[in-house]
A = this chain, B = another copy of it.
Amino acid sequence: MIKIADVARAAQVSPSTVSRALTKPDLVAPETRERVLQAARQLGYQPNKLARGLRKQQSRLLGLIVSDILAPFHATLAKGVQDAAEKHGYMVFLFNSDEQPEKEARYLQELQSHWPEGLLIVPTAKTRQHLRNLRSAGSMPIIELDRTSGTPGVHAVLVENVLGAREAVEHLISLGHRRIGMVTGEPVITTAQERLEGYRQALKAAGIALDERLVANGYHKEEGGYAATLQLLRLPAPERPTALFVGNSEMAAGAVQAIRDLGLRIPEDISLVSFDDTRWAQLMEPALTVVAQPAYEIGYLACETLVSLLRQKAPAEGRILRLKTRLLIRHSTARPRED
């Protein structure tokens, strides 16, 4: 690889002049500058970011840990982050915790040794203690996405989960449903808590008593959603729900399969609405009614926030941003059967 010394030799100047010509052009005579730039171009010089980072004590690196890169929501989130990072000259190290706290801890350590200037993370159940154990955590701005770990001082970009869930359930109620089941995520995750709260609020506002048997944990995953749905729909007839609200798209995929495996039809036998819009939700028959989240915007905004935090040296106090969701009514929700 070409280094500064090579360019310096070619341009007949000292290494410092090359460095200046490249990074602070106005500090060097126009004529020399031209000579240096030309030599650099000719040789195909690329500054070594390791050396530069070491010397300047800054890596221009951001860490991003999502909890499920295969889920469209997270992939889109990551794209938003990357696009924003690129705009500001940052590189992104992307990791995938798979919702496993141990993986998260490992990646956090690995990441730390690369001296990232900031961290974006979709927290898992143990993130709070992981961050507490991290030496660098105090000095580095951290932004949480989608959910929050409750770590003091961290920033977060989330959506209006309570409101979004409430609107979804109110939609079901307005269609005439009274027995509405919910497939929720793990209760330690804030999105699960908040969406459950929205479900509760909607029921309460409509004067419908909460039946704990109608709430089942799907652990954020497809298989969990399948099992939870089976459990809910196998309740004896009088208790069985006529509509289901599902906490995310992974579990919704499981729910759809469970419903089909039971030989039930959507929406004639059971209405279905879930969080997250995805391609399959649009293409399935009938198209799924969903609470759409602005995934790309969450990622982009979070990264913009992080960069602006990095610019102003003062460590701003943790702020939480909440973006709006949109209820997209399609064809998986209808009036309950009269019988």
B59 touches A69 (CB 8 A): no
Closest to A54 in B: B50
Cross-interface CB contact of A283 among B95, B109, B253, cutoff 8 Å: B253
B-contacting residues, A236-275, CB 8 Å: 253, 256-257
Listed stretches A112-120, A223-231, A302-310; interface member: A112-120
A115 touches B50 (CB 8 A): yes
B-contacting residues, A61-107, CB 8 Å: 69-70, 72, 75-76, 78-79, 82, 91-96
Listed by A's residue number, 13 A-B pairs whose Cβ atoms lie within 8 Å are: A1-B139, A46-B113, A48-B113, A49-B113, A50-B50, A69-B75, A70-B76, A75-B75, A82-B95, A91-B110, A256-B283, A280-B284, A284-B285
B283 touches A49 (CB 8 A): no
Contacts of A253 in B (CB 8 A): 279, 283
Other A-B pairs, 20, CB within 8 Å; known A46-B109, A48-B115, A51-B54: A1-B136, A1-B139, A44-B133, A44-B135, A46-B135, A49-B113, A49-B114, A50-B53, A69-B78, A69-B79, A72-B72, A75-B75, A82-B96, A91-B114, A93-B93, A279-B280, A280-B280, A280-B283, A283-B283, A284-B284
**9 A-B pairs closest in CB distance:** A280-B280, A285-B285, A44-B135, A46-B113, A50-B54, A49-B113, A50-B53, A94-B94, A280-B283
Contacts of A93 in B (CB 8 A): 91, 93
A70 touches B59 (CB 8 A): no
Closest to A222 in B: B279
Closest to A249 in B: B279
Contacts of A79 in B (CB 8 A): 69-70, 96
- Number of A positions contacting B (CB below 8 A): 45
In the complex, A47 has a CB within 8 A of chain B: yes
B-contacting residues, A149-190, CB 8 Å: none
Closest to A95 in B: B82
Closest to A285 in B: B285
In the complex, A2 has a CB within 8 A of chain B: yes
A115 vs B54: C-alpha distance in the bound complex, in angstroms?
A: 14
A115 touches B70 (CB 8 A): no
A50 vs B53: C-alpha distance in the bound complex, in angstroms?
A: 7
B50 touches A1 (CB 8 A): no
